[in-house]
Amino acid sequence: MLETIFSDVLSTLRSTFLSGDWIALAIAFGSVGVAALMMRRGTQIGSMTLLALVLFAIGGYLRGVFGAAEGTAVTGGRLAGQLQASWGLFMNMTAATLLSYFLAFMVLIVVIFGAKSIFSRR
């Protein structure tokens, strides 16, 4: 069971942070960076990971709205269509995928928070 979870986390890390999609990579690292920089204590790791995941989802939604078709105006129908598509993708995720996203983002936040803590010492 632990091996399966570890495998899922590694595949999520690879697909999100090591893929060739630079925009998704910027959104992911931006959300992780914001959460890690907002974190004051190590006990906030759960809420900051949730914040990073929400920022990642919002960034993905905005990318879908503004990046889908260049030169066309953003209309209410396009906003609603993208929202339905994003919600459908979220509802089709398995619990293992959600857990692996949570753990992958948590590990990166801990690493950045640790580096921030080390370098901010006087």
Q: What is the pLDDT of residue 30?
A: 93
The answer, as to whether pTM is greater than 0.75, is: yes
Q: Which two tokens stand for residue 7?
A: 């495998």
Q: What is the pLDDT of residue 21?
A: 77
Q: Which domain holds residue 31?
A: 2-119
Please state, in angstroms and rounded to a whole number, the distance separating the CA atoms of residues 12 and 25.
Answer: 12
Amino acid identity of 8? D
Summarised one tens digit per residue, pLDDT across range 64-108 is 877 765 556 667 777 788 788 888 888 888 887 788 888 889 999
Residues 12 and 104: beta-carbon distance below 8 Å: yes
Q: What is the pLDDT of residue 61?
A: 84
Q: What is the pLDDT of residue 71?
A: 59
Q: What is the pLDDT of residue 86?
A: 81
Q: How many domains does the chain have?
A: 1
User: Residue 19 pLDDT more than 80?
Assistant: no
